[in-house]
Structure 1
Amino acid sequence: MATNARTLQRRCETALAKSPLSYFQDVLVERAQSLLHSSGLDLDAIAAEVGSIDGATLRTRLREHLDGACASFEPTCADGARAEATRCLSG
């Protein structure tokens, strides 16, 4: 890509109203939420799947994204995933 970091930063903020890092983290969390709801994988496996450093880092991102609320997971969790969703966010 023939652009410098500052130009990329400005263009992302103009188009997305957020930094490239913030956008990437939102995409990562959304993918992790999808997997948590549907896959039955534990948080460490999901972290590896989405490219997060580890389960603890992903747990922190999920808490930040959800403002600490885990109740939003419960209505849509796959069988057996509801307990995992609550457990993973409570640490």
Structure 2
Amino acid sequence: MALVLYSTEGCHLCEEAMALYQAAGKTAALNVIDIAFDDTLFSRYGVTIPVISFQTKDGSVIEELNWPFDSFALTTWLVKHGID
């Protein structure tokens, strides 16, 4: 399983989402993917980032957490998926 943060450079909301994740104290790696370099990702997430996605190893999306979210919503979502 993989945990992905869809983001782009200079996105203050994305920085906020990353800070919330770090503050949650989780040890699972959060892979950051910049959508600016992929037309498909930009089309999908261009106006909704930041988005945290829980995916299978092959990239199939299991569930996504869309902005806006706070620390409680993020922690609840992570626990629901067994992410520590």
Q: TM-score when scaled to structure 1? A: 0.22
> Rg: which structure is higher?
1
Higher relative contact order (CA 8 A, sep 6+): 2
Higher strand proportion = 2
